[in-house]
């Protein structure tokens, strides 16, 4: 709860900075503030408390995921310093919106009431719509914002409809009550239908097949930093929320539900990977790769009672490598009108450090050992085999192999092609973010217990 209040306070402070003309100080102070909030969240780690008639429930689950979101936001805000160089007059708006987005994210994992859940998801989504369209003079960015807004509000409507049906069936918005009632033998038919509708809405937010069509266009059109935010923070927030939502409603007791999860997970991995093979735009490629990672993360929904730790681990591994990859993309594609692979030609010669970092990030996403991505997949596979879904694991393994194909396309472009032009300047912050993110990723790979045991 304190986390949420502190975040919102920080967001308001950001807006005030504009008034007092302190634009230069905004990024460092926001980062310091977020670090303070992170400390606050960690200090509350072991407490379980509920506030305002169970509107907000702080638990281990919520505080660990909130910490992850805060860390990611710190990275994204830091990258903003460089990215918004030419938009100084708007910088406080952009940063403040990100902070409010974080508030929505924290609300989404610590809700104790479906109304609060919906509030959180709307705060997050509206902030994302604005950020997607934030490059006002760019036609593509406008298109992306509009597309995302139309599709997203449709999904929100479906979620709301689902919540209504659940309320109709259970007579309450409170998740503890719903959780208790859902264990009874006789359930009204509206309840499962409600779950299905809410799940559909959330699958839209995580961009899982067949609700992924918005992702490539929106990712491509949005400003690169917003794409970074969508593919790392927004995706893991939505995934964690979906996980929490389904686990409080005991959705995994139904065999047919598990069947649907298996099919959607397989479809997301396969479609995402096969489509990614053919992309030449790096943002689109990562959009499809994100679809396939969503498929991997959906595997945790098969073992709702035990897999919170592995979801946290997968989410951290994926989002940290995403941050590292995107900071390199921000550097390479600054002042370019597109993010085609051509821009990455010869990066291994002109800038070996950033090329090595991008390589490491992609290897982590592909699941090569020593990077966290490998252990994330390993733990996931292990859990899924234990539940008896060997076929799903084999499909996942085949998909890991396919994914190597397109990740290596980018690596090959960096190391075997000749550079087409020199890039000037060495933005320290981009370097710092990329290095810290990849070091954290490798540290998680070397000591997986650090994160895995948090929610064991």
Partner 1 sequence: MNVSLILIILLVGAFATFLAGDKLASKVALFFGLAAAGASIVLLNHYNLGENISFINQWITQPNISFALRADGLSMAMLLLTTVLTPIIIFSSFGNDYKNSKSFYALLLFMSFAMAGTFLASDGLLYYIFWELSLIPIYFIALIWGNGDVEERKKAVVKFFIYTLAGSLFMLVAFVYMYQKAGSLLLEDLYKLNLTANEQLWIFLAFFLAYAIKIPLIPFHTWQANVYQKAPTVGTMLLSGIMLKMGLYSVIRWQLPLAPLAAKEYMYIFIGLGITGVIYGSIVALKQKDLKKLLAYSSLAHVGLIAAGTYTLTLDGLRGAVLQMIAHGFVVVGLFYAAEIIFRRYETRAIAEMGGIRTQSPKFTSMFMILVLASVALPTTFNFIGEFTVLYSLSQINIWFAILGGTTIILGAYYMLKMFQHAMLGETNSKAFTDVTVNEGITLVLIIGVLFFFGMYPKPITDLITPSLEEILTQINRIN
- Contact residues toward partner 1 (CB under 8 A) are 309, 348, 352, 363, 368-370, 374, 378-379, 381-382, 385-386, 390, 393-394, 397, 400-401, 404-405, 408, 412, 415-416, 447-449, 452-453, 456
By beta-carbon proximity to partner 1, the closer residue of 296 and 374 is: 374
By beta-carbon proximity to partner 1, the closer residue of 231 and 300 is: 300
Closest approach, Cβ 51 to partner 1, in A, equals: 32
Closest approach, Cβ 385 to partner 1, in A, equals: 5
By beta-carbon proximity to partner 1, the closer residue of 246 and 360 is: 360
Closest approach, Cβ 394 to partner 1, in A, equals: 7
Q: Which residue has the tokens 């070091």?
A: 439
Spatial separation of the C-alpha atoms in residues 91 and 15, rounded to whole Å? 10
By beta-carbon proximity to partner 1, the closer residue of 388 and 425 is: 388
By beta-carbon proximity to partner 1, the closer residue of 189 and 456 is: 456
By beta-carbon proximity to partner 1, the closer residue of 102 and 366 is: 366
Closest approach, Cβ 454 to partner 1, in A, equals: 11
CA angle (236 as vertex; 82, 214 as ends), nearest 5 = 80
By beta-carbon proximity to partner 1, the closer residue of 254 and 386 is: 386
Closest approach, Cβ 287 to partner 1, in A, equals: 23
How many contiguous H segments (helices) and E segments (strands) does the chain have?
20, 2
Closest approach, Cβ 138 to partner 1, in A, equals: 35
Closest approach, Cβ 409 to partner 1, in A, equals: 9
438 CB-contact burial (10 Å; exposed 0-12 / middle 13-18 / buried 19+): buried
* Phi-psi map region of 47: left, alpha, beta (phi>0 left; psi -120 to 50 alpha): beta
Closest approach, Cβ 306 to partner 1, in A, equals: 11
Cβ within 8 Å of residue 285, ≥6 positions away: 276, 279, 406, 410
By beta-carbon proximity to partner 1, the closer residue of 104 and 272 is: 272
By beta-carbon proximity to partner 1, the closer residue of 73 and 270 is: 270
Closest approach, Cβ 212 to partner 1, in A, equals: 25
Q: Decide if 99 contacts 84 (C-beta within 8 A).
A: no
Spatial separation of the C-alpha atoms in residues 284 and 268, rounded to whole Å? 15
Closest approach, Cβ 450 to partner 1, in A, equals: 10
Give backbone dihedrals phi and psi of 340, rounded to 5 degrees, phi first.
-70, 160
By beta-carbon proximity to partner 1, the closer residue of 378 and 435 is: 378
Q: What is the DSSP string of 74-110?
A: HHHHHHHHHHTGGGGGGHHHHHHHHHHHHHHHHHHHS
Please list, residue by residue across 38-55, b when 16 or more beta carbons sit within 10 angstroms of its beta carbon and e when fewer do. Answer: bebbeebeeeeebeeebb
Token pair recorded at residue 93: 């708006």
By beta-carbon proximity to partner 1, the closer residue of 6 and 355 is: 355
DSSP percent split of the chain into helix, strand, coil, nearest 5: 80, 0, 20
User: How many other CB atoms are there within 10 angstroms of residue 108's CB atom?
Assistant: 30
233 CB-contact burial (10 Å; exposed 0-12 / middle 13-18 / buried 19+): buried
Q: Which residue has the tokens 């491509």?
A: 220
Nearest to 14 by CA among 109, 84, 111: 84
Closest approach, Cβ 388 to partner 1, in A, equals: 10
By beta-carbon proximity to partner 1, the closer residue of 43 and 306 is: 306
User: How many other CB atoms are there within 10 angstroms of residue 442's CB atom?
Assistant: 16
Q: What is the DSSP string of 380-405?
A: HHHHHHHHT-HHHHHHHHHHHHHHHH
Closest approach, Cβ 309 to partner 1, in A, equals: 8
Kind plus residue range of the DSSP H or E element containing 49: strand 49-51
Cβ within 8 Å of residue 21, ≥6 positions away: none
């Amino acid at each position: 709860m304190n986390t949420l209040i502190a975040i919102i306070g920080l967001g308001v402070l950001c807006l005030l900075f504009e008034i007092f003309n302190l634009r230069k100080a905004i990024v460092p102070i926001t980062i310091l503030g977020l670090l303070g909030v992170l400390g606050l969240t960690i200090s509350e780690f072991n407490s379980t408390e509920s506030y305002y008639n169970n509107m907000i429930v702080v638990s281990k689950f919520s505080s660990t995921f909130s910490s992850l979101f805060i860390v990611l936001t710190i990275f994204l805000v830091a990258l903003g310093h460089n990215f918004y160089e030419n938009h100084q007059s708007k910088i406080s708006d952009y940063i403040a919106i990100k902070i409010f987005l974080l508030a929505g994210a924290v609300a989404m994992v610590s809700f104790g009431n479906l109304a609060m859940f919906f509030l959180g998801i709307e705060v997050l989504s509206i902030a994302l719509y604005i950020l997607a369209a934030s490059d006002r003079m760019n036609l593509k960015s406008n298109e992306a914002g509009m597309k995302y807004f139309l599709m997203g509000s449709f999904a929100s409507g479906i979620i709301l409809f689902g919540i209504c049906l659940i309320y109709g069936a259970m007579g309450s918005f409170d998740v503890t009550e719903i959780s208790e009632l859902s264990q009874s033998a006789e359930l009204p038919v509206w309840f499962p239908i409600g779950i299905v509708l809410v799940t559909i809405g959330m699958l839209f937010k995580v961009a899982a097949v067949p609700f992924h069509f918005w992702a490539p266009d929106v990712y491509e059109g949005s400003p690169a930093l917003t794409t970074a935010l969508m593919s790392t923070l927004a995706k893991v927030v939505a995934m964690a929320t979906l996980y929490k939502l389904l686990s409080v409603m005991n959705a995994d007791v139904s065999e047919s539900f598990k069947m649907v999860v298996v099919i959607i997970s397989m479809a997301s991995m396969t479609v995402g990977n096969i489509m990614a093979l053919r992309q030449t735009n790096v943002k689109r490629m990562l959009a499809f790769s994100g679809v396939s990672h969503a498929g991997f993360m959906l595997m945790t929904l098969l073992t709702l009672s035990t897999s919170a730790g592995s979801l946290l681990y997968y989410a951290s591994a994926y989002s940290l490598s995403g941050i590292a990859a995107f900071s390199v993309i921000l550097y390479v594609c600054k002042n370019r009108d597109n993010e085609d692979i051509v821009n990455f030609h010869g990066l291994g010669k002109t800038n070996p450090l950033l090329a090595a970092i991008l390589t490491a990030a992609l290897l982590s996403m592909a699941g090569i050992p020593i990077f966290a991505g490998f252990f994330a997949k390993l733990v996931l596979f292990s859990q899924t085999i234990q539940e008896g879904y060997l076929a799903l694991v084999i499909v996942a393994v085949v998909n890991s192999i396919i994914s190597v194909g397109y990740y290596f396309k980018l690596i090959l472009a960096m190391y075997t092609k000749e550079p087409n032009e020199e890039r000037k300047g060495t933005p320290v912050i981009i370097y710092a973010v990329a290095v810290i993110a990849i070091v954290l990723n490798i540290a998680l790979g070397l000591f997986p217990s650090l994160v895995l045991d948090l929610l064991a």
